[in-house]
Structure 1
Amino acid sequence: MKIAVINSGSSSIKFQLFSMPKGEILAHALVEKIGEAGSKSMFEYGGKKINLTDSIKTHHEGLKLINALLKEHHIVEHFSSLDAIAHRVVHGGEYFRDATLLDDDAIEKIRGLIPLAPLHNGANLEGILVSRQKAPNVPQIAVFDTAFHSTMPKEAYLYALPYEMYEKHKIRRYGFHGTSHSFVMKEAAAKMKKSPKELNMITLHLGNGSSACAIKNGVSVDTSMGFTPLEGLMMGTRSGDIDPAIIIYLQRELGFSVDEVDTLLNKRSGLLGVCGDIDLREIQTHDDELSKAAIEMMARRVKKYIGSYAALLSNVDALVFTAGIGENSHTIRAKILQGLETFGIELDEEANEQNLTLISKASSRVKVFVIKTNEELEIARESENLLKRLDII
Structure 2
Amino acid sequence: MGMPRTVSPVALTVNAGSSSLRLDLVRDDEVIHELYVERQAPGPSAIDRTIEGFLGDAPPCEVAVAAHRLVHGGDAVRAPTVADDGVLEAVRRFADLAPQHVPPALALVEAARRRLPGVPQVLCPDTAFHARMPEVAATYALPAGWRSTYGLRRYGFHGLSYAWALQRAARLLGRPAETTQAVLAHLGGGSSVCAVRDGGSVDTSMGFTPLEGVPMSTRSGSVDPGMLLWLLSGERLTLDELSDGLQHRSGLLGLSDGRSGDTRDLVAAGDPASALALAVFAHRVGREMAAAATSLDRLDALVFTGEIGWDQPEVRHDVCQRLGLLGIVPPARDQVDDDMIVSAPGADVPVLVVRPREELQLAREALATVSRIT
Output the TM-score relative to the length of structure 2: 0.91
Map 1:135-214 to 2 at 5 A: 135-214=116-195
Q: Is the 8 A contact 2:44 2:107 kept in 1?
A: no
Give the drift of 1:12: 4.3
Q: Partners in 2 of 1:7 and 1:287 — Cα distance?
A: 33
Q: Does structure 2 retain, via aligned residues, the 8 Å contact 1:35–1:56? A: no
Q: Who is 2:285 aligned against? A: 302
Q: In the alignment, what sits opposite 2:307?
A: 324
In the TM superposition, what are the counterparts of 1:163-312 in structure 2 within 5 Å?
A: 163-253=144-234, 255-275=236-256, 276=258, 277-312=260-295
Q: Classify the secondary structure of the residue corresponding to 1:333.
A: helix
SS of 1:151's equivalent in the other structure is coil
Q: Select the structure with the greater relative contact order (CA < 8 A; seq sep ≥ 6).
A: 2
Q: Deviations over 1:162-192 (max 9, x none)?
A: 0111211112211111100111011001111
Distance 1:354 1:33 in 2: 27
Contact map agreement 2:202 2:295 (CA 8 A) in 1: no
Give the secondary structure class of the aligned counterpart of 2:57: helix
Equivalent pair of 2:81/2:124 in contact (CA under 8 Å): yes
Deviation at 1:262, TM superposition (A): 0.5
How far residue 68 of structure 1 moved from its aligned partner, in angstroms, is 2.3
Contact 2:212–2:222 under 8 Å retained in 1: yes
Question: Aligned pair 1:75/2:60, yes or no?
Answer: yes
The reply to whether residue 26 of structure 1 matches residue 32 of structure 2 is yes
Tell me which amino acid in the other structure corresponds to 1:368: V
Q: How far off its partner does 1:279 sit?
A: 2.2
Quote the Cα distance in structure 1 between the aligned partners of 2:216 and 2:331.
Answer: 26
362, 380, 384: which one aligns with 2:345: 362
Aligned length: 362
For 1:138 and 1:343, the matched residues in 2 are separated by: 48
Alignment gaps of 5+ in structure 2: 1-8
Instruction: Return the alpha-carbon distance in structure 1 between the equivalents of residues 265 and 172 of structure 2.
Output: 33
Which structure 1 segments of 5+ residues have no match? 37-54
In the alignment, the residues of structure 1 paired with residue 309 and residue 264 of structure 2 have an alpha-carbon distance, to the nearest angstrom, of 12
C-alpha distance in 2 between matches for 1:33 and 1:340: 37
Moved runs in structure 1, 4+ residues, more than 6 A? Answer: none
Q: What's the counterpart of residue 112 of structure 1?
A: 93
2:318 is aligned to 335
Kindly indicate whether residue 355 of structure 2 is the aligned counterpart of residue 376 of structure 1: no
Q: Does 1:389 align with 2:354?
A: no
Matched, 1:8 2:16: yes
**Deviation of the 1:199 alpha carbon:** 0.9
RMSD: 1.9
Partner of 1:66: 54
Which one-letter code corresponds to 1:283 in the other structure?
L
How far the C-alpha of 1:339 sits from its partner, in A, is: 4.7
Partner of 2:3: none
Partner of 2:328: 345
Identity in percent: 36
Report the Cα distance in structure 1 between the residues aligned to 2:36 and 2:265, rounded to whole angstroms.
25
Q: Is the 8 A contact 1:9 1:120 kept in 2?
A: yes
User: Could you tell me which amino acid in structure 2 is paired with residue 219 of structure 1?
Assistant: G
